[in-house]
Amino acid sequence: MSATAAALGFSRPTANSLDAVSDRDFALEFLAAASITAMHLSRFSEEIVNWMSAQFQFITLSDSFTTGSSIMPQKRNPDAAELVRGKSGRVIGALTSLLVMMKGLPLAFCKDMQEDKEPLFDAADTLDVCIAACVGMVTDMRANAPALRQAAELGFATATDLADWLVRSLDMPFRNAHHVTGAVVKLAEERGCKLDELDLPALQAIEPRITDAVYAVLDPARSVSSRTSFGGTAPANVRAAAAAARARFL
Flag whether pLDDT at 69 surpasses 80.
no
Helix (H, G, I), strand (E, B), or coil: what is residue 138? helix
pLDDT at 14: 86
Residue 68 has a pLDDT of 82
In this prediction, residues 25-32 reach a mean pLDDT of 96
Q: What is the pTM of this model?
A: 0.85
Residue in 190, 143, 117, 163 with CA at minimum distance from that of residue 47: 143
pLDDT of residue 39: 98
- Does 1 have pLDDT greater than 90? no
- How is the chain split among helix, strand and coil, in percent rounded to 5? 70, 5, 25
The pLDDT-based confidence of 182 (bands split at 50, 70, 90) is very high
Across the range 59-66, mean pLDDT stands at 95
**CA-wise closest residue to 103 among 24, 32, 35, 19:** 24
Is residue 48 within 8 A of residue 77, CB to CB? The reply is no
Pairing of strands 76-77, 67-68: antiparallel
Alpha carbons 78 and 59: distance in angstroms, whole number: 11
- What mean pLDDT do residues 94-104 have? 96
